Structure 1
Amino acid sequence: MYPPSKNCRGFTLIELLVVIAIIAVLIALLLPAVQAAREAARRSQCVNNMKQLGLAVHNYESANQIMVLQSMFPSGNYPSGMNSGFSTGGASYSWTVALLPQMEQQAIFNAFNFSNYVWDTGVAAANFRANTTVGYTQIGVLLCPSDGTSTRPIEPYGTKSYHCNLGGPGIIQAWSGTIVAPRAWSGNAVGPFGFSGVSDGLSNTGLFSERLIGLPSAQTATVFVNSVNAKRGIFPGPDGGTFNTNDPAKAMAFVQGCKALPGTTKAGNTQHIGHIWTYGYPQFQSNYYNHFGAPNSLSCINANEGGTQNGRWSIATATSNHSGGVNVGFADGSVKFVKDSVNLPTWWALGTRNGGEIVSSDAY
């Protein structure tokens, strides 16, 4: 064996530390770019999901024109017909069930028993048997990958990130959106309607938006106005007055009152947001959002409705984990990113199907 060369030497400790420091700096510089790229991919998938939902609505409307000779959107919930026997309480099947065939989920649609209840209430009566087989199934297209939650509001039921548009501020005009509670349940003066009923323009009328999934009821006590999960909560708000008053000033006052809640205000509810994807109930804001408060602002219950779980003309906000705004699917099938800073009357106008407002494309 040859003796080691005197010219052969290793790295000194200082050189190693310098190299490690350089690598650490490079990682620190690259990590935000990597995270931004991942979020861009998640946001792109979210947009694609919403486009599929928009296309499903178009196919649903076309199918109804052929089958029943009437142009119509799916109802927000189905308290009659599809689930006779559950027409009084409002707790019923969601628009998501109606759209299953148009989302290439015919097998799951066929497995849904419309003679049974939506979920397990613990009631022993035969017609309260739950649709657990379908309810436990998680539909991938209904989830936004940017949501980030690792829990479901009510395990093991599947949940959803996308909610249908109930309308602008209910204080001004209730049920003014595109996929709303049916007339049999709400007393809404407008019967079934489709694209012909959207006189404000399909490209300026919301159909769906994102809403961050709620948390299990056990975590409600941890959700405050100033907490990281505030957007997943529903807070007791001020008295916003009754619905259909056609008074924008009252609507604006309610929004300002919601924004002014102290940071220590605790959520009255969180688990009802998207809690069961098959479930529809306007009072619990379970599958709806509305164009009342600005995107990513607080959701507040109108004290006039009496309770921390009611919300037909309260603030059910579109929320997301995307930076600076939310994705909104419009009635023409397009998906646009609406900023949190959108002018509030413009946001209200995007929520109504026939309010007569004029909104330019550069206003949001």
Structure 2
Amino acid sequence: MPPSSKRAGFTLVELLVTIAIIGVLIALLLPAVQSAREAARRCSCINNLRQVGLAMHQYNDAHKRLPPAKPPGKDRYASAFVWLLPYLDEASRYGEYDFTVRPSEEPNTAITEVSLEVFLCPSMTFVGGDVPPGAASYGVSTGSGYNRDPFNRYTGEPNLFCHNGAIIDPSRGKTSVSGISAADGASKTFLVGELDYGLTNLYERSHGAAGPGGSTQWAFAYPGVTWASVVGKFNSDRIVTKLYEWETFRGDHPGGVEMLFVDGSARLIPTETPHETLEALAHASDGELVEIP
């Protein structure tokens, strides 16, 4: 009688069960991997903001004021970030920058069309996929009002831009870390925050004045470019009211926006934060005590 032969291999049912188990394990693993990657990107974004905060403090120590929103004069438009270059290991770029002409003019274009890593959040995505020259992810806090309003809603005077934030137009005077600390508390006043390219309807609502998603570029001093406020819907992914959201802080991290405070600390501010709280955090001298969410 011949010896019995043992069956080798898998049956179809066993194979299907194995594939199903592997599929379930992959489905469970992918969210964990994505979450870990986002956590790493958030850490990198916060590190960028803290570097900018340290540069702001170094500038403040050297000049007894925070950097201006733009240089004095009508048509220059260099942003506060340009003034920070020597404190961000970019002294050579700063030395080559010509403050007598605009960022978009020679010889400045060789500098301003470069996207610097310290100004880019690794989570940021671009609507349409194209990365504009000199693109950035952050804007300085100009306050709680709309920078394009013809009149300042607080004084009734013609709007001179950047009227009540930590970074203001030089024609409005100057702000300093010590001054803000005495007025509102440096740990409770916005200094810089995310300003991404996530506005899905911006091109249509701005009638082509802005590219797809946003217009943030680190070298240009202008609303929605490096000036940001809390006038519109916070962390919106579309224009909702007029063009308010164009210059309102927004980011690509789940649940909120990474914000840098005047004291140099950085944290995620939840999307659902009440507007009154955001206004108090953006206003640098209202004297209002506010609890940070």
Fold conserved (TM > 0.5)? yes
Match of 1:63 in 2: 62
Q: Which of 188, 194, 208 is residue 192 of structure 2 equivalent to?
A: 208
Aligned match of 1:93: 78
CA distance in 1 between counterparts of 2:107 and 2:204 reads 27
Among 280, 283, 286, the residue aligned to 2:225: 286
Pairwise CA distance, 1:62: 0.6
Q: Structure 2: 5+ residue runs without aligned partners?
A: 147-151, 155-161
Residue number in structure 1 paired with 2:109: 132
TM-score (norm 2): 0.84
Q: CA deviation at 1:23?
A: 0.5
Cα distance in 2 for residues equivalent to 1:169 and 1:135:
28
Name the counterpart of 1:47: 46
Sort the Cα spacing of 1:352 and 1:41 in 2 relative to 1 into closer, same or farther, 3 A: same
**2:139 corresponds to 1:151:** no
For structure 1, list consecutive stretches of 5 or more residues without a partner in the other structure. Answer: 65-70, 81-86, 121-128, 215-222, 224-228, 237-265, 303-307
Equivalent residue for 1:240?
Answer: none
Task: State the alpha-carbon separation in 2 of the partners of residues 354 and 9 from structure 1.
Answer: 79
Q: One-letter code of the match for 1:338?
A: I
Residue-pair matches, total:
274
CA deviation after TM superposition for structure 1 residue 315, in Å: 6.5
Once the two structures are TM-superposed, the CA of residue 299 in structure 1 deviates from its matched residue by 4.7
Residue 36 of structure 2 aligns to a residue whose secondary structure is: helix
The CA deviation at 1:13 is 2.3
Separation (CA, whole Å) in 1 of partners of 2:16 and 2:231: 56
Query: Which of 90, 97, 118 is residue 103 of structure 2 equivalent to?
Result: 118
Aligned Cα RMSD in Å?
A: 2.7
Please show how residues 1-364 of structure 1 align to structure 2 within 5 Å.
Answer: 6-7=5-6, 9-64=8-63, 71-78=64-71, 80=72, 87-89=73-75, 92-120=77-105, 129-149=106-126, 150-153=129-132, 157-170=133-146, 172-173=153-154, 175-183=163-171, 188=172, 191-198=173-180, 199-213=183-197, 229-230=200-201, 235=205, 269-270=210-211, 273-282=214-223, 285-297=224-236, 298-299=238-239, 316-361=247-292, 364=293
Distance 1:275 1:296, change over 3 A: closer
- Cα contact 2:139–2:216 (8 A) shared by 1: no
1:203–1:331: 8 Å Cα contact kept in structure 2?
yes
- Partners of 1:179 and 1:151 lie apart in 2 by 30
Q: What percent identity do the matched residue pairs reach?
A: 34
Q: TM-score normalized by structure 1?
A: 0.68
C-alpha distance in 2 between matches for 1:325 and 1:331: 19
SS in structure 2 at match of 1:166: strand
Match of 1:258 in 2: none
Q: CA deviation at 1:107?
A: 1.8
Report deviation, 1:142.
0.3
